[in-house]
Amino acid sequence: MTRIEGIATALITPFTEEGQIDREALKKHCNFLIEAGVNSLYILGTTGEVFLMNSRERKLVAELVVEYVAGRVPVFVQIGSMPTAEACELAVHAKEIGVAGVGAITPYYFNASQMEMKQYYLEIADVLGDNFPLYLYNLPACTGNDLLPETVAELAEVPNIVGIKNSMEDMRRLCRLIDETPADFDVIQGCDTLLMPGLIYGARGSVSGNSNVFPELFVGLYRAVQEKNYEKAKGLQLLINKVARILKNGAHLAYFKKALEYRNFKPSFTRKPLLDITEQEAEILQREISHFIKYDLEPIADTLRE
């Protein structure tokens, strides 16, 4: 089974101003990330505005990304949904179109018990079969439901539940997940500002939203940690922290899309009810991005290409 390892970008979904999926922009963005060296793509998650799409659109985006990527890197699809039956349907579709694996956000909105969340994952795992990887995905700040380490440890015993994307800003939780699950269970860091310590402690990789805009920083940090060049890794972590601040760390997805304009991409929009940033916000963002590129990124560009 193919696993998430290294830098997996949590892919944005480009929309036109009218709210339609922008196929041209999606293809260009996939190429940009692959050429920057990311190890895989994680699509249709929070950063991908997945819960502003219907099931048909989610399937279409998955099909388009698989077509555009054409096997150059593994593609993982977030298929979590309410109800469970839809999550299972999306999981089967993802497997049929040839993705490397799937992830599933916990149940959301309704308060779900640990038993209910466990059953949800067991049903998804069952429809996929033992040899197709499923990643758990915990983001309680958005879902209202926290998948606890003891439940994760129980689910880790299922043959095709191979890991978890943990997006909490809590290093203690990440350490518990690594400590209390089997050695071959992949704990994936979902918090960019804790990327370096997470990797050093034992996280297998990162699913990163901020890497949509500056993938080279994340690829460089991962490689530096692999080479045990911790001084270089720390420097890149500081730059990632600065990027996360400038881009609001994914709290306002329009910042990712507007920032990409300043990296020579065509305009892309969020889907309502999410709104694009104001003219004043855009002016501030442009200044900050331009300053970052000139004074932070360009001086180290050659070392990142090595």
Decide: helix, strand or coil at residue 6.
strand
Residue 98 in contact with residue 67, Cβ under 8 Å? no
Cα separation, 180 vs 52, in Å, equals 35
159: amino acid identity, one letter? P
The mean pLDDT of 102-115, rounded to a whole number, is 97
With H, G, I as helix, E, B as strand and everything else as coil, classify residue 253.
Answer: coil
Give 66's pLDDT tier (boundaries 50, 70, 90). very high
Rounded Cα distance between 225 and 233, Å, is 6
Rounded to two decimals, the pTM is 0.97
- 95 a catalytic residue: no
Dist. CA 52–CA 23, nearest whole Å: 17
278 Rama sector, left if φ>0, alpha if ψ -120 to 50, beta otherwise: beta
In a domain, 250, yes or no: yes
Range of the domain at 257: 6-305
Known active-site residue 165: yes
* Catalytic residue chosen out of the listed positions 42, 68, 121, 137: 137
| 165, 232, 257, 258: the active-site residue | 165
Compute the mean pLDDT over every residue in the chain, rounded to the nearest whole number. Answer: 97
For residue 28, report the phi and psi dihedrals to the nearest 5 degrees.
-65, -40
pLDDT band at 306 (very low <50, low <70, confident <90, very high): confident
Q: Check which CATH number belongs to the domain holding 49 and give it.
A: 3.20.20.70
Query: For residue 112, is it within any domain?
Result: yes
pLDDT digits (tens, 9 = 90+) for 207-229: 999 999 999 999 999 999 999 99
Task: Give the residue ranges of DSSP H helices in 168-297.
Answer: 171-179, 195-201, 215-226, 230-246, 254-261, 279-292
The structural domain count of the chain equals 1
Mean pLDDT in residue range 250-263: 96
Which helix H or strand E contains 211, and what residues bound it?
none
- Check if the beta carbon of residue 286 is closer than 8 Å to that of residue 238: no
Which tokens is 125 given?
């795992």
In a domain, 1, yes or no: no
Residue 186: which H helix or E strand, with range?
strand 186-189
Q: Which residues contact 33 (CB under 8 A, 6 or more apart)?
A: 9, 11, 41, 211, 212, 215
Q: Which helix (H) or strand (E) segment is 79 a member of? A: none
Give the pLDDT score at 305.
Answer: 83
42-57 tens-digit pLDDT: 999 999 999 999 999 9
pLDDT in tens, 145-196: 999 999 999 999 999 999 999 999 999 999 999 999 999 999 999 999 999 9
Over residues 131-145, the pLDDT tens digits come to 999 999 999 999 999
Query: Does any domain span residue 149?
Result: yes
pLDDT value at residue 1: 87
**DSSP string of 11-36, one letter each residue:** ----B-TTS-B-HHHHHHHHHHHHHH
Strands 186-189 and 205-208: parallel
